[in-house]
Each structure stands twice: as C-alpha cells, then as structure tokens.
Structure 1
Amino acid sequence: MEYFKYKNNFQPEKGSLLISEPFLPDPNFERTVVLLCEHNDEGSFGFVLNKPSTVLLDEIIEDVNDFSEKVYIGGPVQQDTLHFVHREENIEGGVPIAEGLYWGGNFEQLLTMINTKQVSGNDFRFFVGYSGWSEGQLKNELDADSWIVANYANEQLVFNTPEEELWKVVLKELGGRFNVYSNYPTDPRLN
C-alpha cells in the first residue's frame, strides 16, 4: 500500500508550492496550487494561484483606470481583503518570496504605476482572501497526505502558466508517480 502515499521529500518553506492531492475533499482547495508566502513555527500562509474569481480588478478598486486583470480567490480566510504577488522589484516594501517573486508592498505606489502604464498585468496576481494555517496545522495536513510540496516556485510558473493547467504542470514537473497523479480524473469513479 506504500504506493498510495502522496508524500514527497520536500519540506514547506517560503516560496514553496503546495499542490492539493488529487482527491482532496475540501472545495476550497480542490486541484489547487498554493504559493506559500510565509512558513515558520507560528504558522503558514499563501495564495491559491489557480482559482480565478468572477471579478476584475478595476471592478473592485475605484482608483484603477483601464486595468481589467483577473482577481483570484487566494483562499477561504478574510475574503474581504485584497493582496498581490508580483515580479516588480521596485515596489517599496515588497517581500521577497522566491527569486523574481514578491508579495505585497506599497499599494499607492502600485496604483500610480498601473495608472501611468509603468507596469503590465502580466507582472501581477491579485487575490481576495488568503490561505492560512495555524501552528502545526499544515504539518498535520501534510502527515494526512492532503498536500504535495514542490520547492521550485518561480515567476515563469506563477505568471506564465494558464491557471487551468497549473495543477497538472506542477505535478508533471515533480515527475515519477506525481506525473501519474496529474492524469487522475476529478471523479475517481470515472477511472
């Protein structure tokens, strides 16, 4: 029965990707990829990269002119908050996550850059809400085989991979048995 285990040898850290196991029953995380922005002894948090909402940024932020970019559902926690991940190193206060990837920063500066056309929508992902785990919670979920960890988040993967393909692409990149998981049907009864 060992071949049914989803564990891999990677440990989560800032910049890791959490890939939901193929049959995770939680609708918030079904076939999702989460970018971890923080992971320490106190807990973890990040954003679901492949769950677009039905709204665009200029529909929810009045101060944005002609910037009709998708807003993603970052997770089930505090869905009344807006966050962003980007690859623009010049935004003050942006927190490095991985090479070429930053979280947050000076939002007023970002709005100015958007409205003066200094940045492209391809350089940002906006999220309502986030995914969060309290102390020990993520470890328990990893022990229960709810997540597969990949320690290779990069800007190309985050910004250039279509969200509908991201889950499969990341599993295929892990190779081996994870490549097989990428082809599992959504409903195992269809296998």
Structure 2
Amino acid sequence: MNQATYLNNQFIIAMPNLADPAFFHTVTYLCQHNAEGALGIVINRPAEMKLGEIFKQMNITVTSPVASEVVVFIGGPVHQERGFVLHTTGGNWDASMAVSDSISLTTSRDVIEAIAEGKGPKHYLVALGYAGWGEGQLEQEMLANAWLSTPNSQDILFDTPINARWQAAAKQIGIDINQLTTPAGHG
C-alpha cells in the first residue's frame, strides 16, 4: 500500500454486518495508518463515566466545573487504562502527535490539567484505550467489507450527538448506513 492510500485523518465506519461487540456500529477516527499497522480512537462509544471521575483519579484540581461533566469515551479495546485526548491543534503539550494540520492526539497529563482549568484545547474528546491493527490487518478487514472509509469531519468528531455519529459519518458520502446489507461495500 503506498502512502497515498493510507487512511490517516479519516473515519472508518463499522459496516452493519461487523458483529464484534468492541466495534459494532462504531466510527473510528484513524490517527495513524502506515505499513506497520493502524491506530484509531472510537468516537461514538461513551464510557459510563464523566471527565470529573478522571480528574479525581488523577488528583487534578478542577476550576472549570463544565469540564467535569464531559463524557469520556471508550476509545477502543487496547490499553483501556490509558487516556487519549483528540483535540483541535494548539497548545504545547508534552506528548502530542499531529494527526493533521487541525487535529492532534495527546497522551500527557498536562492537557488534562489544562482542560480542568478551562485552559485546554477549544474542542476535545477524551478516550480510554484505542483501536489498533497490526501490519496489513486493517487492509484485510476493509477487503472483507468490515469497514467503510469516509473523510474526517470536525463537526462529527466534536459536535454531532454521540448516537448520531455513525449515520452522520456515512451520510457525508451519500450513504444511508441503515440501508446497507451484508454484500454491500468494497468489491
């Protein structure tokens, strides 16, 4: 696969026939995709916790009460004890990776502390864990019609209601995901 065909900074949408409970009806934002594999964050699977619980676990003082009520996501089945913050680019965080010119992925404590103080990124999504694929694995799953790739949309990533993201991501390319049957997808 050449670099032009990598799916960095795109969504992959679980096809209706993908029955794996970790990915059923999910939208995953791909942060890194190359010859060695892929890493993404599921953006429509809320955890049963709010950001305030993470602040408490990390002994972080909160001066922005709004931040405490932000939903935390299950970013994927890998390393669910680790936190990941997808956010609009900006700030000088200790462990941050630019995914695109406008989106970054940060794993350091300083971004969480800034969010608690109301000084963090303008738009952000906090997730526990990530979705990962080994060399060639995602490509094989794409060929097996498990996933549909679509462009990234910051509106879907940060502003669309969580339960509407799966349909909204597919709708970007004119597809009603609920109308697809098992044989649909890539040929």
Q: TM-score, normalised by structure 1?
A: 0.80
Amino-acid identity (%): 28
Q: Secondary structure at the match of 2:176?
A: helix
Is 1:180 the equivalent of 2:176?
yes
Q: Is the 8 A contact 1:11 1:149 kept in 2?
A: no
Deviations 1:133-172 (A, max 9, x none): 000111110111100111x213222101111001101111
Question: Aligned-pair RMSD on alpha carbons?
Answer: 2.1
The aligned runs of 1:25-104 (5 Å cut-off) are 25-62=19-56, 63-65=60-62, 66=65, 67-68=67-68, 69-92=70-93, 93-104=95-106
5+ unaligned residues in a row in structure 1: which ranges? 1-9, 186-191
Q: Is the 8 A contact 1:80 1:129 kept in 2?
A: yes
Is 1:127 the equivalent of 2:123?
no
Matched length? 170
Q: Secondary structure at the match of 1:141?
A: helix
How far apart are the structure 1 equivalents of 2:119 and 2:10? 29
Is 1:114 the equivalent of 2:110?
no
Q: Is the 8 A contact 2:31 2:99 kept in 1?
A: yes
Residue type of the alignment partner of 2:168: V
How far apart are the structure 1 equivalents of 2:61 and 2:18? 37
How many angstroms does 1:82 deviate by?
Answer: 0.9
Residue type of the alignment partner of 1:41: A
Q: Is the 8 A contact 2:12 2:27 kept in 1?
A: yes
Change (3 A) 1:57 1:115: closer
Q: Is the 8 A contact 1:91 1:105 kept in 2?
A: no
Q: Secondary structure at the match of 1:98?
A: coil
How far apart are the structure 2 equivalents of 1:123 and 1:87? 6
Change (3 A) 1:31 1:11: farther
Structure 1 moving runs of 4+ over 4 Å? none
5+ unaligned residues in a row in structure 2: which ranges? 182-187
Change (3 A) 1:34 1:111: closer
Q: Secondary structure at the match of 2:172?
A: helix
Is 1:170 the equivalent of 2:169?
yes
